[in-house]
Amino acid sequence: MFFRRKKNAPLTDPQLRYNKLMELYGSGKLEEKDFSAFCLTDYLSGVCSEGHWGWFSSTSELRGASALAVIVGTLGEILPQHLNDNLKRAYASFGTPGAAEVCEAADRYFLGYEEEVYDALQQYADGLFR
């Protein structure tokens, strides 16, 4: 999820800020600095690597079900409405029969609009490190 430098091309300031955000996330310090940015980064990273069902499972295992609910609620304030609706459908299905199918559909939808999440994350990086 880091920007890589092309041969003989320096990274732009926005790319450097994004990389700094990812470094904070990787070090575990982003949650303290900006919880909303942490939630968005964790969601993007988790869904891209393990899908909605996997992200729900691992997050609730690591942090607890109530923490997952707080993160999902925070994402509701950040994500564009259509992506928030997608997340809420998947989250409502978590732990129910048929959750795998609902979460797989949410994954497909998310991947169609993944760039919007990256754009929102870039806005957080720009705001944190200007």
Query: CA angle, corner 38, sides to 35 and 40, nearest 5?
Result: 115
Query: In terms of Cα–Cα distance, which of 125, 124, 40, 120 is closest to 87?
Result: 40
How much is the mean pLDDT over the chain? 92
55-106 pLDDT per residue, tens: 999 999 999 999 999 999 999 999 999 999 999 999 999 999 999 999 999 9
Distance CA 128, CA 119 (A): 14
Q: What are the boundaries of each domain within the chain? A: 32-125
Q: What was the pLDDT predicted at 9?
A: 78
